A and B are shown apart, each in its own frame.
Chain A
Amino acid sequence: MRLSMTSKIGLWVTTALTLAFIYVPILVVVLNSFSTSRTLSWPPPGFTTEWWGKALTNAGALSAISTSLIVAAASTVIALLLGTALSFALHRFSFFGKSTVNLLVVLPIALPGIVTGIALNNAFRTMLDMQLGWFTIIVAHATFCVVTVFNNVFARLRRVGTSLEEASSDLGAGIWTTFRLVTFPQIRSALFAGGLLSFALSFDEIIVTTFTAGSGVQTLPIFILDNMFRPNQAPIVAVVAVVMILIAIVPIYIAQRLTTTDNR
């Protein structure tokens, strides 16, 4: 497509403004984590690494980080297992009510988090009579993590089709050999991308978590929310936020790299 000079400039400006709109606030957080001000005042009056030192020895922050990592890992593992099983079931077999099941599987991602949160909270406490805690957070996160894995793997299965598996079995490979040598390599990157996305989703989830965490377990986003407006804690929150950015960027970047190399 050929563009006139003015529309080219227009596009550049729009892109620059959009990116600035997204990234300037993030940059501010990064700067604040090195600021000498205790209240995140702007502009930063001076530079210090004091907060980084404090944050990295702050028991609350550290435990929140490890809680979030464990929750994200656990719900991702559950999502990988269930999401893959579901996508195979829905791709390979036809059964009564298949399209309904398909819709029900992807629905959680469209539901407002607050609805999912209330629903799960009610179900866990009143129906199942369960203590809110680790288990309930992980299950709650798994409900939307399953969707990301399912979407990725299902799309991949659709694209790859069954002809490679037929060729493999035609050449004498049994079901498991075919899965190991042909099917799995074909869906591996979709699993990886789905798993990373689901990890990232779980890691910064706050709404559903608020409703299912109870008082004993504190994930990182909840820690941040709790400490944001406390005096003296604000710069530590900024540090934690930067750590979160780093943890979130890496998987998203890898996931995107993977899907683009696959689609080449």
Chain B
Amino acid sequence: MSTQPAIRLTGLTKSFGSVNAVSGVNLDIAPGEFFSMLGPSGSGKTTVLRMIAGFETPTSGTVELFGKDVTKDAPFDRDVNTVFQDYALFPHMSVLENVAYGLRVRGVKIDARNNAARDALALVRLEGYGDRKPTQLSGGQRQRVALARALVVEPKVLLLDEPLGALDLKLREQMQVELKEIQRRLGITFIFVTHDQEEALTLSDRIAVFNEGGIVQLGDAEDVYRRPQTPFVANFVGTSAVFTADEAKAVLGHKGACSIRPEHLEIVRGKAPAGTIGLPGTVAETIFLGASTRIIVDLDAGKRVAVLEQNDLNTTDTKLGTKVTVAVYPRFLAPLT
């Protein structure tokens, strides 16, 4: 039983008229996994989530939950719950009533469901907020109520559509930690949609990178970051210098298309260290980022690359127009398919 995937998508496709929002997605998600869907706006993440929740009927393909085909089931017959991007809290109910709603419609008696709702509110650290109306809460608090409301019915799978999108950076980071903690504690499968690559990298067991309605790469954070397989992933998840097969051959003397991260390049004066490829060039721009500086170098071979240099004790002094050598460590070159 435990080998059964929590969610299995097979050939999942959705078209809206002539728009192919999602095309042929195949995916297995294991029970208890923190799974992220990462992709730019319009890449079909929400549509996939809505098909899992049952709000959209797939044009073709199937959705299975724990081995059961639910493709044709209504949302209320599926054992998944959603935390909506706009939270969708019921404005005419108090916070407690909102959280207790899922139990209420299951016929749980008022005392029992209010107790469960209070526990859920405690889980998201909102004790004592039960009597307020959703309009009397801050964005972060509403987000937690939405989370508590979904958790109270103890779903096996929780779908989260950019739940932190509306929050400011500090609150977001705090909520990320809390989400991860709650997920670990309850052991629920989380499917987390985001277009923030850093968020996906820090939280997820596995990440599916979406582009134009399909999954372009699937793997854990390190896979996706260290070994991007396409130029799209190389530049959507972090940034990279991308070399086509021809460029790789001409510039690096390397066989096959590849990419490399700015932090894996080094600026050196004079000769490149042994075992590296030295590429002469001119500093075109420097962008100070605080702990590091991004240095854009025009290579003499006719390619522009970015180098990320830590502003530590050994910082080289790189002025515009300085002639420098960019050292490339071949083991960091990620082959592209």
Residues of A within 8 A of B (CB): 163-164, 166-174, 177, 181-182, 185-186
List of A residues within 8 angstroms of B89 by Cβ: 167
Q: Known interface pairs A166-B55, A167-B82, A168-B101. Does A173 touch B88 (Cβ–Cβ under 8 Å)?
A: no
Our pick among B55, B86, B153 for the contact of A171 (Cβ within 8 Å) is B153
User: Could you tell me if A174 and B76 are in contact, using CB atoms closer than 8 angstroms?
Assistant: yes
A–B pairs, 5, beta carbons within 8 Å: A163-B86, A169-B76, A170-B80, A171-B153, A172-B76
Complex contact A167–B105 (CB within 8 A): no
B 94-111 to A, binary, CB cutoff 8 A, 1 in contact else 0: 000000011011100000
B227 interface contact, C-beta 8 A: no
Given A163-B84, A163-B86, A167-B82, also A172-B102 (CB < 8 A): yes
User: Bound complex: CA of A29 vs CA of B270, how far in Å?
Assistant: 102
The majority secondary structure among interface residues of chain B is loop
Q: Are B76 and A173 in contact (CB under 8 A)?
A: yes
Chain A residues within an 8 Å CB radius of B55: 166, 170
Q: A167-B84, A171-B76, A174-B105 are in contact. List 17 more A-B contacts (CB 8 A).
A: A163-B84, A164-B90, A164-B91, A167-B89, A168-B90, A168-B101, A170-B75, A170-B80, A170-B82, A171-B102, A171-B150, A172-B76, A172-B105, A172-B153, A185-B92, A186-B91, A186-B92
A169 vs B90: C-alpha distance when bound (angstroms): 12
B197 at the interface (CB under 8 A from A): no
Chain A residues with CB under 8 A of B164: none
B81 CB within 8 Å of chain A? yes
Note all chain A residues with C-beta closer than 8 A to B153.
171-172
Question: Within the complex, what minimum Cβ distance (angstroms) separates B65 from chain A?
Answer: 14
User: Assuming A172-B102, A172-B153, A181-B105, is B75 touching A166 (CB within 8 A)?
Assistant: yes
C-alpha gap A44/B225 in the complex (Å): 92
Give the interface SS of chain A, mostly helix, strand, loop or mixed. helix
B82 to chain A, nearest CB (A): 5
B108 to chain A: closest CB distance in Å?
Answer: 11
Q: Are the C-beta atoms of B88 and A163 separated by less than 8 Å?
A: yes
A169-B102 in contact (CB<8A):
no
A239 to B82, CA, bound (A): 61
| Chain A residues whose C-beta falls within 8 Å of the C-beta of B215 in the assembled complex | none
What 1/0 mask marks residues of chain B from 218 to 238 whose CB sits below 8 Å from any chain A CB? Answer: 000000000000000000000
B53 at the interface (CB under 8 A from A): yes
Contacts of A181 in B (CB 8 A): 101, 104-105
Complex Cα distance, B75 from A177, in Å, reads 14
B149: interface (CB < 8 Å): yes
A198 to B164: give the CA distance in the assembly, Å. 44
Nearest A residue to B88 via CB reads A167
- B74 contacts the other chain (CB 8 A): yes
Contacts A185-B92, A186-B92 given; indicate if A172 touches B106 (C-beta within 8 A).
yes
Kindly list chain A residues whose C-beta atoms are within 8 Å of the C-beta of B104. 181
Known contacts A163-B84, A177-B105, A181-B105; A170 and B90 CB within 8 A of each other = no
Contacts of B53 in A (CB 8 A): 170
Shortest distance from the beta carbon of B144 to any chain A beta carbon, whole Å:
15
Question: Which residue of chain A has the shortest Cβ distance to B78 in the bound complex?
Answer: A170
Minimal Cβ-Cβ distance residue in B for A185: B92
Could you say which residues of chain B place their CB within 8 Å of the CB of A164? 88, 90-91
Q: Give chain B interface residues in 195-214, CB to chain A under 8 Å.
A: none
| Closest-CB distance, A85 to chain B (whole angstroms) | 22
| Chain A: CB-nearest residue to B97 | A181
Tell me, in angstroms, the Cα distance from A53 to B76 when the chains sit together: 62
| Cα-based distance from A171 to B120 in the complex (angstroms) | 15
Q: Complex formed: what's the CA distance from A71 to B80 in Å?
A: 50
Chain A residues near B92: list those with CB within 8 A: 185-186
CA distance A188 to B74 in the complex (A): 26
Among residues of A, the one whose C-beta sits closest to the C-beta of B77 is A172
Beyond A172-B102, A172-B105, A172-B106, whether A167 also contacts B74 by CB under 8 A is no
A182 contacts B84, C-beta separation under 8 Å: no
**Chain A hits for B74, CB < 8 A:** 169
CB nearest to B89 among chain A residues? A167
Q: Distance (Å) between the CB of A70 and the closest chain B CB?
A: 33
B102:A166 contact, CB within 8 angstroms = no
Q: Please give the distance in Å from A51's CB to the nearest CB on chain B.
A: 47
Tell me, rounded to whole Å, the shortest Cβ–Cβ distance linking B300 to chain A. Answer: 56
Q: Mark B314-331, 1 if CB is under 8 A from A, else 0.
A: 000000000000000000
How many angstroms between the C-alpha atoms of A167 and B91 in the bound complex? 12
Residue of A163, A169, A170, A181 with most partner-chain B CB within 10 A: A170
State A24–B56 Cα separation when bound (angstroms): 59
Shortest CB–CB separation between residue B310 and chain A, in angstroms?
Answer: 45
